[in-house]
Amino acid sequence: MRFVIHKSRDGQYYFVIKASNGEIVATSETYVYKFSALSTIESMKKGINSESQVIDVSD
């Protein structure tokens, strides 16, 4: 499972959760700050496989 962080056209951040086969299984709400998205990801990782990757493509 991978978390991929994106930056939307309006400058806000969101992430998608991708399964190991590359399929998107969830999309987050948008966040004004990247650290808010990262904080949510870290909270989610505590309840699932902690070895999930975080990929930042927002830059």
Q: Give the CA angle between residues 31, 17, 38 to the nearest 5°.
A: 40
Nearest to 27 by CA among 43, 37, 49, 53: 37
CATH number of the domain residue 33 falls in: 3.30.160.160
Number of structural domains in the chain: 1
Q: Is the whole model's pTM more than 0.85, yes or no?
A: no
pLDDT tens-place string over residues 1-58: 899 999 999 999 999 999 989 999 999 999 999 999 999 999 988 877 667 778 889 8
Q: Which domain holds residue 43?
A: 2-56
